[in-house]
């Protein structure tokens, strides 16, 4: 944005009393909230895998909802890490996914996993994000795909955070 929004690209005149544009540099590693967001999303995904590991007798209650929450948290933190100071909150899954792809076009390669789970993957995630009394039944094949999606997105987030050196304080 800094390269686009410049004085020479200005279309409309501004009043002399308006302050000049200034840019705030990203300082993730000193930002307590960002560190906590990253730790929280890692803990949330770990909670999914803990529940997944201890599932008993095909009782998958809550796994789909926890999966959907994990996906959205991963995508939000990915956008926040890739496009600093923008934390998408009230967007649907598809819109947040497109922000991730905008931030990193290589993310598009993951979409085939979404299609393996459901043709309407984004709607499915949105459905499980809202309150629902439905009992989500997932087959063992779907659970394996869900695991693969979460592992892949977690690896992508970890790589981005390491690449940008955003976790210097996190052990």
In a domain, 119, yes or no: yes
The 10s digit of each residue's pLDDT in 106-155 is 999 999 999 999 999 999 999 888 876 766 677 888 889 999 999 999 99
Taking a C-beta distance cutoff of 8 angstroms, is the pair 57, 115 a contact? no
Q: How many domains does the chain have?
A: 1
In a domain, 49, yes or no: yes
Contacts of residue 32, defined as CB under 8 A and 6 or more positions apart, other chains included, come to none
Q: How far apart are CA 171 and CA 158, in angstroms?
A: 13
Mean pLDDT of 90-113: 94
Domain enclosing residue 89, as ranges: 28-163
In a domain, 16, yes or no: no
In a domain, 102, yes or no: yes
For residue 2, the model assigns a pLDDT of 67
- CATH number of the domain bearing residue 64: 1.20.120.330
């Amino acid at each position: 944005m800094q390269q686009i929004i410049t004085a020479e690209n200005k279309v409309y005149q501004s009043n002399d009393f308006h302050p000049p544009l200034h840019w705030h540099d990203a300082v993730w590693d000193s930002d307590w909230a960002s560190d906590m967001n990253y730790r929280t999303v890692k803990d949330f995904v770990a909670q999914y895998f803990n529940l997944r590991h201890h599932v008993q007798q095909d009782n998958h209650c809550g796994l789909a909802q926890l999966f959907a929450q994990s996906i959205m948290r991963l995508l939000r933190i990915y956008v926040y890490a890739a496009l600093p100071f923008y934390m998408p909150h009230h967007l649907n899954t598809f819109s947040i996914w497109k922000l991730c792809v905008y931030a990193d076009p290589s993310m598009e390669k993951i979409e085939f996993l979404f299609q393996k789970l459901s043709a309407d993957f984004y709607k499915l995630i949105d459905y499980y994000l809202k309150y629902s009394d439905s009992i989500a039944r997932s087959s063992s094949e779907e659970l394996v795909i869900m695991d693969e999606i979460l592992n892949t997105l977690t690896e992508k987030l970890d790589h981005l955070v390491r690449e940008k050196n955003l976790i210097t304080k996190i052990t």
